[in-house]
Amino acid sequence: MAKYAKYTKVSIKDTKLHIEKLLLNWGIEEFFFATSPRGDGIGFRYKEKTYKLSVPIKKDMPDKEQRQMWRILFMSLKMKLEEIDAGLISFDDQFLSQMALPDGSTVSDFMKLPENLSLLQSSKMPKMLTS
């Protein structure tokens, strides 16, 4: 189990408010929080692209661990934006794997498909990324 925020008392609601403030300060005005059988997460639009970040929360997970996972997401997002702001990496490079594709999956999801992994191993590009 992760060590960061292991004993946090910050509620999920407050962490979501921190994330909202962070995104708004960055000029990201279109975002959402979501819950699904696969876990929770956030999504946002930036420069005409949609991004999705997951919080892998199981429904039987204790509240303490759920709070921790949300704090980790907040800190990760904050650090990613700080790196971009400092010029260490571009926004596109930092968030490429979380960029949503037309079918709702992410670039990361797409690249993990067995047919795409085998294409990459043979030095060919998956069609969706080249067309």
| pLDDT tens by residue, 22-43 | 999 999 989 999 987 777 999 9
Take residue 41 and report the two structure tokens written for it. Answer: 């997460």
More confident residue, 7 or 17: 17
Residue ranges covered by each domain of the chain: 1-100, 102-131
Q: What is the structure's pLDDT at 68? A: 93
pTM for this entry: 0.84
Q: Is 45 exposed, middle or buried (0-12, 13-18, 19+ CB in 10 A)?
A: middle
Give residue 93's pLDDT: 95
